[in-house]
Chain A
């Protein structure tokens, strides 16, 4: 019983059930080109892994996601802090934010390819665009959610305005920044897959798109599974590192669906 609870908690039972249902469904259809089962996908993956293209594509997509996400976060955080802290800047920028937040990054692919070419640049900028919005909005929301009493307390304890910014506002906003960058990671995957489907000849998005043309449906599944695993693992890494580095700000690895 205790073992079962352990397996349930680790999600292993859920995955075994999913694999079983999937295999049964595939057998019932009997058309691997339409719905390959887990065994077909496993066969297909051996080819892809053997010739090295799977690892290459995973690393290429991962590199694009991480670079764009990192750059987008790096400039999203200070802008978010500024928007939250400086009222006139917030009033100035808010109309843009409320306009562009409804344009998903994928919608910009054609334009960015036109402007920045078909190479890495356009993809990086696309991910930065998708990332920075969420980071900016969450960071600004964090600054605005700050208890006025914390600022007052700091002020009457003798803190200057600069000290309040660095010793009160930034630390109080860290949990919001953390939520922002975690959500942004999900968006980065969305953006990169879109970009690689339309304008790339490498990467997981490219794999999914071209496999369809060759009726290698099992490879489409490999692409999808790879994306899920990549997202899962990067999120785990972010959570682990954050919990180590920012424990005192109330960030722990104990999370369910991104909440506390």
Chain B
């Protein structure tokens, strides 16, 4: 693994399971037997088809959802509720940004909750407004920005709060292809500067290879689990036109198709 990994801010997941519904009515497990170790500073991608439970896993790590069984540790401490050490970048900025606050106030929200002085807040928000390329937009409101810019605001908002872990739930999924590409490049640039642990959820194989140091491939729910881990050793910034990139893409895609075929086969056996 690359050298910017630290033993601190490590997420350790063992035999984690998640089931929805009350104990009486067993609706089956969404997640089953997840085992994962994400090291400090690592860029980890959770890759899987839609509805496979990868967002559920992310929400469990964030503390928004309780796990049903297993252990989930951050720095050897169990995670049981949301905290400022784990920040979430949501898929839909309109649902998660505060429309009554301007860009600067949105970015300063966490600091204001922490009762940081206005002067210090301004200093920090200035820095992150610049980092995500929103200089000159500080006094605008979210409704005045494009989708890509709103995601930049979300990113700056969590970075300004200085979390140890960045949880990202398909943050570029709703953007057009051009904007998505530039946001992916920006994220890599910001990640190399900010040195945060990132857990990034996506269903896009290309995006996974473009961003992740490791890719965990998830099977479909019910009983979703991480059944394959890939290490991506390509240097950043990555070039999607290289042969190595393409080879890995084909390998992962073949993996998906195989998994799909297995499910069809199983269903036939049952049916």
Contacts and interface: CB of A to CB of B under 8 A. Distances in A.
Nearest to A250: B99
Contact of A168 (B88, B98, B141, B163): B98
B114 A158 contact: yes
Contacts of A171: 98, 100
Contacts of A248: 100-102, 141
Nearest to A168: B98
B92 interface: yes
A7 interface: no
B222 interface: no
Interface string A152-163: 111111111001
B92 A149 contact: yes
Interface residues of B, number: 30
A154 B143 CA distance: 19
Contact of B96 (A153, A158, A174): A153
A116 interface: no
A184 B172 CA distance: 43
- Interface SS of chain B: helix, strand, loop or mixed? loop
A150 B98 contact: yes
Contacts of A163: 113
Nearest to B87: A156
Interface residues of A, number: 21
B95 A150 contact: yes
Contacts of A160: 113
Contacts of A191: none
B110 interface: yes
A158 B90 contact: no
A77 interface: no
B39 to A, nearest CB: 21
B86 interface: yes
Interface string B80-123: 00111011101010011111111000000110111000000000
Please give me the 9 A-B residue pairs with the lowest Cβ-Cβ distance, nearest first: A158-B84, A157-B110, A147-B95, A149-B96, A155-B82, A149-B95, A159-B113, A156-B82, A153-B96
